[in-house]
Amino acid sequence: MRSIPEPLDILILAAGLGTRMRSSVAKVLHKLDGRPLIAHVCGTAAALTPRRVYVVVGHQAAAVEQAVRAVLGERAAVTFITQAEQRGTGDAVMAARETVAGEATTDGASTLLVLSGDVPLMRADTLAALVHQHRTHRGRGAACTLMSVRLDDPTGYGRIVRDEENRFQRIIEQKDATTEERAINEINAGIYCFDVAKLFPALERVVPVNAQGEYYLTDAPGILRADGEDVSVFLHADAREVSGINTRVELADFERTMRLRTLRRLMLDSGVTIIDPAQTYVDSAAQIGRDTVLHPNTHIEGRTTIGENCEILPGARIVNSVIGNEVTIKDHSIVTDSEIADRCSIGPFAHLRMNARMEEQAVIGNFVEMKKSRLGRKSKAMHLTYLGDAEIGERTNIGAGTITCNYDGRHKHPTIIESDVKIGSDTMLVAPVRVGARSITAAGSVVTKDVAPDTLVAGVPAKEKKRLDTESRVDAPSENPSDTATTTADEHTTEADETPTLVG
Ligand code: UD1
Ligand code: CA
C-alpha cells in the first residue's frame, strides 16, 4: 500500500445523448426520484470528498452543467470538459487528457475514478471499496481496477473476458462479441479506477475498429493487461446498484425500486401510514412524521417536510414545502414552495404556491389560490378566492369570491389586511391597499383606497359607511364565520345604527 494516499479525482462521463432513450433530452437529464440522473451520480461523487470532479459534457452541455452545479456547486471543485463530437467513451476520457494529466503531474501520481452519468444507484461505500482495492492491489496498487457484476441477463453490457488462470484479459462489447463471449455473464459496470500516468498512454492506442466505430474506454484495461500491467477486477454482489439506465423501460423500473425503498423506510422507520404503496409517490428527500396518513395518489416531492398526525388526502401534491403537525390537506390540492403551520387545513382543490405561508389553525377552503401571501393564525379563506402578495392578520375572515387585484398590468402590488377583519363576499381589493383591524367590507365592495381600522366600507368604489364603535360592535363570531357573507351595501346603509352582520 502506498504510504501517502494519493489524491482522488473523479471523472463523470455525461456527454452522450442516449439514443436508446428515444428522446431529444440528454439521457443524464432524465429524472429519477425527482432529480436528473447526473445529480444522483454527482451526489455520490461528492460523498467521496475528491480533490476535483471532472464532468465530460456534450449534448445539452449548458443544462447538464447546471444540473451538476446544483449538486456540486459548494461541495466540490468541478471542471467541465467539452467533448464536441460523441465518438465513444474512450474519446470522452481522452477529451479530458490535458486537464486531468496537467493536474496530476503537479503532485505526482493520482487516482482517477471514472463514473458514468447514467448509473444512478451506485453507493459511495462501494466506490470507496473500489478505490481501496485499486490502491492496495498486490501491496502496490493496480494500473486499473474495474468493477464487474454477474447478471442473469447480461444483454447489452460489455463482458469481462478472463484467461485460463481466471485473470482479467479484456472487455468485449456486446456488439463485438462472439456467441461464446455473449454467454459470459460477468459484465463491465462501466466504473473504473485508473492510475492517471498509465491511463492516457493506453488510451492513445485505442482505435475505433469495432461494430460501432467508436473509441471504447473499455479497450484501455485490455491494453494495459497486454502490457503486463496489473488490472484488478472488483466483483460486486449487488447487480441493481451498478445497473445503467439505457431505456425508458429501465428508467421506470428504477423509479419503482427507489419509490418502494423510500415508502418502506417511511413506514418502518418513520411510522407513516401509507394506505396503498403502489399508488403513493414520495421522493426520497422528503421527511414525514409519525402517524401521518398518506392516501392513494398523493405526491410528495422535493425537499418536503411533513409533521406528525397529518392527513394527506387523494390527489394532493406537495412540493418543496414545510408542513407542520396535525395538518389536513384535502383532495386535489397543490402546495408548492410554501410553509404551513400546525393544525391548518387546506382544500379541497386549493393551490398554494411561491412562498404561501399559513400560520397555526388557518384554513384555506375550496378553489382558493394563495401566492406569496401570509394567512395569519386562525384566519380563513374558505371559497373561490385569490390571495396574491397579501399579508393577512389573525382571526380574519375572507368571504367567498374575494380577489386581491395585485397586478396592474406592469407591477405586482401588496394587499395588507389586518387582524379581526371581515372581508365580505366578492370584495375586490385593488392593491396596493390596506384594510385596518376589525374593519368590514360589504359584499361586492371594490376597495381602491386604504380602509382605516374599525370602519365599514361598501360600494364601487368602496366608501366609508360607518365607524364601528368598538363598544357596540358585535364581536361574537358568527355561528359559522366561514360561510359567505351575504350582506349588501344597501342593507348596511338603510339603518344608520344597524351593525352589519355576516349571515350565512
Ligand atoms: C458502457 C460500456 C460497457 C458497460 C456499460 C455499463 C463502453 C464502450 N461500454 O456501455 O462495457 O457494460 O457502459 O453501463 O464504454 N458518453 C460520453 N461520450 C461518448 C459516449 C458516451 O460522454 O462519446 C457517456 C454517456 O453519456 C454515458 C456513458 O458515457 O453517461 C456511457 O455511455 P453509454 O453509451 O451508455 O455506454 P454503454 O453502451 O452503456
Ligand atoms: Ca450506459
Instruction: Pick 151 or 484 by higher pLDDT.
Output: 151
Type of residue at 447: V
Give the Cα separation of 121 and 154 in Å (integer): 18
449 neighbors 461 (Cβ within 8 angstroms): yes
Nearest ligand 1 atom to alpha carbon 189: 6
Ligand 2 centre distance from Cα of residue 145 (Å)? 19
Nearest ligand 1 atom to alpha carbon 190: 6
- Find cell 409533521 and name the residue: 307
Nearest ligand 1 atom to alpha carbon 58: 22
Instruction: Pick 332 or 109 by higher pLDDT.
Output: 332
- Find cell 451498478 and name the residue: 242
CA angle 219, 223, 225 (to 5 degrees): 120
Summarize pLDDT for 266-298 with one digit per residue, the tens: 999 999 999 999 999 999 999 999 999 999 999
Give pLDDT, residue 104.
62
CA angle 396, 397, 399 (to 5 degrees): 150
Q: Whose CA is nearest to atom 29 of ligand 1?
A: 13
Q: Is 219 in the pocket of ligand 1 (CB under 6 A)?
A: no
Q: Is 400 in the pocket of ligand 1 (CB under 6 A)?
A: no
The pLDDT-based confidence of 52 (bands split at 50, 70, 90) is very high
Q: Is 245 in the pocket of ligand 1 (CB under 6 A)?
A: no
Q: Is 194 in the pocket of ligand 1 (CB under 6 A)?
A: no
Q: Which of 87, 295, 363, 298 is nearest to 208 (CA)?
A: 87
**What percent of the chain shows pLDDT beyond 90?**
88
Q: Is 56 in the pocket of ligand 1 (CB under 6 A)?
A: yes
Give the Cα separation of 285 and 303 in Å (integer): 5
Give the Cα separation of 391 and 237 in Å (integer): 57
Ligand with smallest separation from the Cα of 206: 1
Mean pLDDT for all residues in the chain: 92
The pLDDT-based confidence of 101 (bands split at 50, 70, 90) is confident
Type of residue at 340: I
Ligand with smallest separation from the Cα of 29: 1
48 phi and psi, to 5 degrees?
-85, 0
Q: Is 83 in the pocket of ligand 1 (CB under 6 A)?
A: yes
Summarize pLDDT for 16-25 with one digit per residue, the tens: 989 999 999 9
Give the Cα separation of 397 and 403 in Å (integer): 13
Nearest ligand 1 atom to alpha carbon 12: 30
Q: Whose CA is nearest to atom 5 of ligand 1?
A: 190
Give pLDDT, residue 335.
98
**Catalytic site residue 383?**
yes
- Judge residue 474's burial from the number of C-beta atoms within 10 Å of its C-beta, 0-12 exposed, 13-18 middle, 19 or more buried: exposed
Per the residue annotation, which of 30, 383, 411, 413 is the catalytic one? 383
Q: Whose CA is nearest to atom 11 of ligand 1?
A: 158
Summarize pLDDT for 442-489 with one digit per residue, the tens: 999 999 999 999 999 999 999 999 999 765 555 544 445 555 555 444
Give the Cα separation of 269 and 264 in Å (integer): 8
Q: Is 15 in the pocket of ligand 1 (CB under 6 A)?
A: yes
Ligand with smallest separation from the Cα of 116: 1
How many helices (H) and strands (E) would you count in the chain?
11, 40
